[in-house]
Structure 1
Amino acid sequence: MPETDLDRQTAYWDAVADTKRFAHPLHEPWLAEVDRAAAVLDYGCGYGRTLHHLEQLGFRRLSGADTSPGMIARARDLHPAPRFEVLDEPPALTGTADGSVDLAVLFAVLTCVPGDEAQQGLIAELGRVLAPGGLLYVSDLLLQDDERNLDRYARFAGRYGTHGVFETGDGAVCRHHSADRLAALLAAFETVHTRRITVPTMNGHEAQGMQLLVRKPLDDGR
């Protein structure tokens, strides 16, 4: 299902493409046994920070996709080796064949896609392009328990109809998740690893997050 404008927010991401810094860490031990010739896709790659880290680890078949032409332009300038594409009809990866990806990376993307159906569609599309046995590495933000976040959850709950969806001071609409919500989104996959992290947000606030490494079943019923 195509994303709505709220689930893309392309104008916002283009406007901040040259200024935002992302910080979700790549936990290298989780990828130690992954073949460096694996086909790797970073969905919502932004300016290519995580792909650059993967390149430094020796991965050679790297591609990134994002809805923001501004972010992709910055990524191409900074990191010439990976292949980058702008998503015209997200979450559709129209140039990526079924089962052609060995490792998909989804870092701080679900927080930028606030709608339930859009999130579900994104995970389904990644499931389509992943090979049986392929890995999906998710990193995202949990519901926070500090006063600042609790206040904005309450303030925007009526407008968006979902606890944890809120507006940032610079105009983005974001979503924080319960651990159960993340698990439900990934229920079609087999869990390999999970861990809690503390990470700076794109606006410089410390936040609690979760990382999950999951595997597409060898027989997914199709």
Structure 2
Amino acid sequence: MATEALPPLAEPFADRRQQRTADELGIWLYMATEIMMFGALFLGLALYRVTWPAATAEASRHLLKWIGAANTAVLLTSSLTMALAVLAARADRQGRCVLLLLATAALGLAFLGIKAYEYHDEYTQGLMPFAGPGFPLQERGTELFFDLYYLGTGLHALHLAVGIVLVGGLALRLLVDRALLPDRAVTVAVIGIFWHLIDIVWIFLFPVLYLVAR
């Protein structure tokens, strides 16, 4: 079985394996900071749910669960295409890797498009804080739910937009320079880790926000 190629050596590393280990350690340290940030958000949502159970249920009933479910399916599919892109990069199948990366970016754009539709629907109902018609819910504490909802989904959408730029940019670079693989397979893998984190965050956001009324 052929071994996976390592990235070109750069200073100040002594060898390529040391460089690859540093690359992987760097992305995992970055992921740890992201987990702490989103962990604080989930802690806030948990405290809110305990403090305002009736408001949580009332507010959650006004979210479009079918949209949340559709976006969950889109992101899970994008995780599959991203994982297959990493495998293709390691196998030096550049054309297949490019197609899978473009598919991943397209699925990310589809998620944002669906989310934009949902935001517009919430805006027309007056559920968006400080925008649109007057807030329609009378239950005390429901407006705070939507503050946390937009904070969480907005942060997630921002990270997803960054991921789309990274994945799409890498696909275009591989399309132009066909000599990059398999030396840059580790780059595909590192971006893949970031993409999977975005998916995992949504997998937690979906039930916490959309399904608590059930």
Pick the TM interval, shorter chain: under 0.3
Give the alignment's TM-score, normalised by structure 1: 0.25
Between the two structures, name the one with larger relative contact order (CA 8 Å, sep ≥ 6).
2
Instruction: Report the structure, 1 or 2, having the larger strand content.
Output: 1
Instruction: Report the structure, 1 or 2, having the larger helix content.
Output: 2
Give the alignment's TM-score, normalised by structure 2: 0.26
Q: Give the structure with higher Rg (CA).
A: 2
